[in-house]
Amino acid sequence: MRRRTLLTGFGGIAATGALSACGGGETQQNEAPAEIGEDTEATLELAYWDRNQSVTVEALIASFTEKYPRITVTPALTGPSEYWTRLRTQAEGNNLPDVFWMSGLHVQLYASNGMLAPVADDVNFDVFPQAMTDLYTVDGVRYGIPKDFDTIACWVNQRLVEEAGVSLPDPETWTWEEFGETTRAIAAGLGDRGHAVVTDLNIGGQQNWYNTVAQAGGYIIRDGRSGYGDPDTIRGLEFWSNLVADGVVPHPRVIADNPPQTVFNSGRAAIHHTGSWETAGLLADYPDPGELVVVPLPRDKERASTIHGLAYVVAANSPNLAAAAALQRHLTSEEAGRTDAANGTAIPAWEGTADTWHEVKPEWNLEVFTTAAEEYAVPYPVSRNTAAWNQLEADILTPAFAGEVPMAQAAEQLAEQMDALLAAEN
């Protein structure tokens, strides 16, 4: 599944009031929900979008209802492309599911419109990555309990690198310069047999430029203003336009017809610059898993890897708030993390539970993803209506990655238009 395709699938709902800033500052105090017990009766709807995670969802519902036999939990699985449309319709009808998956791109919009119940103070957030806790904190109020997370690294086809006659530098210390030299050599060595690097520059920056912008010392959004006009941000963008110009990364038009996942999974690319979410698909579909290994992203001024992930949230108007809050806690518990990890579908957010996830394929060095989360992750950039300027990114930056307009010109245009959208959020 293309992560950003899902994340940007939200068309936006009418928003009123002031923009809510994510993370930072003191968190407000919220009382614990009422106690529930074995005799508590309730009917809850649990909404999510990934069929691959149904085995985990169903197992956790079973263990929850074993503890609370009079509570009925009905799972509501919706396809990725329809999930946000359905949720928007339910929100407009004041009929949200009791408990549902939330992404960082949308939490500010739903929270600022009073649709989400705050998480009580007795939930221990110390067991989750700080960047994930911050992502689901709006105006000092925590609205989501992290479920899982993903970070970005390089998946490497060792066979193709060897066939190109190239040896990788030490990936724990390699720099942008070394990455460029190495991948240009891979491109020359492979010729028509494959691509040196694939990544999708058409669908957003999570896989690629959000990382290099942070590595260069730039930023996407800060204090309600766009960072696209910043010289360091522009340098982080030019990292990719230069690789396209050098023939290292395919032209965006080529990628539009040949998705990076398809190209890499068929053994026609040496490096896939992407996220941990590819793990399940590679386990299922890659013809020779022994060819693969994961290595960290190269560094510039900084080390950086974009972190995002999902949280479980509770509808503020749920008629069974106490039961819904109990289910939310159960779905984000240590038990839930270990269940998620054992199924190999996501990196669980609960500290220590990812060890089982690492073991789904030890030789792949999957610890790279969790080390990034612990040591040098940068939060996914969001605002109250992120999807609006995500569309600007696609419209303005894609021609610049393709070399059709200078990147600095495109970035400054994007900054101006993005600032106008951000101002309208106030």
Q: What is the pLDDT of residue 7?
A: 40
Q: Do domains 42-149+308-378 and 152-275+383-424 have the same CATH topology?
A: yes
CATH of 152-275+383-424, one of 3.30.70.1060, 3.20.20.210, 3.40.190.10, 3.40.50.1010: 3.40.190.10
Residue 9 to residues 4, 112, 204, 413, Cα–Cα distance (Å): 8, 19, 12, 24
In order along the chain (426 residues), what is the average pLDDT of each group of 10 residues? 40 35 47 79 96 92 97 95 93 96 93 96 93 92 96 97 97 97 98 96 93 98 97 98 98 93 95 93 87 98 96 97 97 95 88 90 95 92 90 95 97 98 90
The phi-psi region of residue 140 (left if phi > 0; otherwise alpha if psi is between -120 and 50; otherwise beta) is: left
Domains of the chain, residue spans = 42-149+308-378, 152-275+383-424
> Residue 285, Cβ neighbours under 10 Å: how many?
12
Q: What is the pLDDT of residue 28?
A: 56
Q: What is the pLDDT of residue 13?
A: 39
Q: Are strands 377-379 and 148-149 parallel, antiparallel or unpaired?
A: unpaired
Are 308 and 93 contacting, i.e. CB atoms less than 8 angstroms apart? no
- Give dist(CA 39, CA 19) in Å, integer: 42
Are 396 and 326 contacting, i.e. CB atoms less than 8 angstroms apart? no
- Give dist(CA 266, CA 281) in Å, integer: 12
Are 232 and 217 contacting, i.e. CB atoms less than 8 angstroms apart? yes
Q: What is the pLDDT of residue 312?
A: 98
What's 381's DSSP letter? P
- Give dist(CA 207, CA 268) in Å, integer: 19
Q: What is the pLDDT of residue 283?
A: 86
Cα 328 from chain centroid? Answer: 20
Are 36 and 323 contacting, i.e. CB atoms less than 8 angstroms apart? yes
Q: With respect to CATH, is domain 42-149+308-378 assigned 3.90.580.10?
A: no
Q: Report pTM.
A: 0.85
> Residue 81, Cβ neighbours under 10 Å: how many?
11
What's 296's DSSP letter? P
Are 60 and 330 contacting, i.e. CB atoms less than 8 angstroms apart? yes
Residue 116 to residues 133, 266, 372, Cα–Cα distance (Å): 16, 42, 30
